[in-house]
Amino acid sequence: MFKKICLLIVVVGMFSCNQVPNTEKTEAEVAPEPFKYWAWMGSSADRADSLYIDQFEQLKAGGIDAVLINTNTDTTLLSRLTPMALDAGLEVHAWIMAMNRPGDTVALKHPEWYAVSREGKSCFDTRPYVDYYQWMCPTRAESREHVLSLTEDLAKVDGITSVHLDYIRYSDIFLPIGLLPKYDLVQEEELPEFDFCYCEVCVSAFEKEHHKSPLVLKDPALDLEWKQFRLNRIKSVVDEAYERVHAQGKILTAAVFPYPEMADHMVRQRWDKWKIDAVLPMVYHNFYNEEIDWIGYATGQGVKDLETKNTQLHTGLFIPSLSPEELRMAVLEAKDHGAKGVALFDAGALKPAHLEVISELKRSEQE
Ligand SMILES: [Zn+2]
């Protein structure tokens, strides 16, 4: 019964939106884009074409419209996979781990490119939380250029729709509350070992602008210029990536934290200020010990914050924590709060029963 009511509300909602008279736009312009289903997926050069073809066909048959493929910036692999995904009828997005670049063989030759903590330790050899946290400094010209040129190379691959920035932020100053027990951590304030970037380039750029050093601030968490400086450093990378990707005829998308204020607080990421075509906030309720309705809350907050921008929002959902029935509820929460689609993490976690729910939802949208 509950399902039916939800579906009815959505259908009625869409219908009434279409009925609003708009004399200034043509019918084609007001026709809403269909709600979109994306899936993030990893890849490996060793895996056979036939396995990819099967996977792409299964995803398409299950209602997925777009895949975000992580090839570890391997453009040869991306060029091999893209035509197969396109043949299956999927849109392709080139997923890059942007500021966090684990095992990057070029970057590893330049220890000075890595972000430095308030303790003075570099991510080059002292990694916060996990060994794969190997963050680049967003200010130093060479590390910034490295990330941007990798982004540009991906944008040159024929057939892709967007370059999709992931880890486009600083390392977590606060971990999601649901993950703290796993790391046996208590985080009630900004701890120096998780606070970045205090490298010489960041410190001197900030000093030049504000005539004070972040190294001598009594409580850096309370200094708003220092916070804003770092938000701006990430914004600057995104805005430049936007120009370079658009120059290749592609668009820019990103995986981001649940909503702007939360992203700002946890990872110094203020995505409602960015020049970007679409954001896919990772609204992973279980990471924050929240319930399914929080997916609607976080989606609605982000949608409101983007009201005056040309940035679409598609809600990211964490499939391992969603039963097929919960997935249905989560999709409806996202849709009811203004998302243009949902992105599912990840393709490998999608069970046939999840895909059945998506196919069913799509059928009901088309009725
Ligand atoms: Zn730095």
pLDDT digits (tens, 9 = 90+) for 267-316: 999 999 999 999 999 999 999 999 999 999 999 999 999 999 999 999 99
342 C-alpha to center of ligand 1: Å?
34
The token duo for 338 is 């203004």
180 C-alpha to center of ligand 1: Å?
26
Look at residue 22 and tell me whether its pLDDT is greater than 70: no
237 C-alpha to center of ligand 1: Å?
13
What's the pLDDT score for residue 339?
98
Using the CB atoms, write b or e for 251-275: b if 16+ within 10 Å: bbbbbbbbbbebbbebbbbbbbbbb
Instruction: Express each pLDDT in 160-175 by its tens digit.
Output: 999 999 999 999 999 9
* Strand (E) or helix (H) holding 364: helix 352-366
What's the pLDDT score for residue 10?
40
200 C-alpha to center of ligand 1: Å?
7
The token duo for 301 is 């907050």
196 C-alpha to center of ligand 1: Å?
8
Helices 352-366, 49-61: crossing angle, 10 deg rounding: 50
Q: Which residues share a beta bridge with 100?
A: 135
Burial class (CB in 10 A: 0-12, 13-18, 19+), 66: buried
Spatial distance between the Cα atoms of 39 and 94, rounded to a whole number of angstroms: 12
Confidence band (pLDDT; 50, 70, 90) for 5?
very low
257 C-alpha to center of ligand 1: Å?
22
Instruction: Give backbone dihedrals phi and psi of 114, rounded to 5 degrees, phi first.
Output: -85, 150
Burial class (CB in 10 A: 0-12, 13-18, 19+), 44: exposed
Q: Taking the model in full, what pTM does it have?
A: 0.91
Confidence band (pLDDT; 50, 70, 90) for 103?
very high
- Of 31 and 181, the structure prediction assigns the larger pLDDT to 181
What is the pLDDT averaged over residues 234-262? Answer: 98
The token duo for 55 is 């996977």
Instruction: Express each pLDDT in 167-211 by its tens digit.
Output: 999 999 999 999 999 888 899 899 999 999 999 999 999 999 999
The domains found in the chain, sorted by start residue, are: 37-205+231-366 (3.20.20.80)
What's the pLDDT score for residue 27?
52
What's the pLDDT score for residue 30?
66
203 C-alpha to center of ligand 1: Å?
7
What's the pLDDT score for residue 26?
57
What's the pLDDT score for residue 14?
40
The token duo for 309 is 């921008």
68 C-alpha to center of ligand 1: Å?
29
253 C-alpha to center of ligand 1: Å?
24
For all residues of the chain together, what is the average pLDDT?
Answer: 92
Helices 224-247, 200-210: crossing angle, 10 deg rounding: 110
Instruction: Give backbone dihedrals phi and psi of 87, rounded to 5 degrees, phi first.
Output: -60, -35
CA 53 to chain centroid, in Å, comes to 25
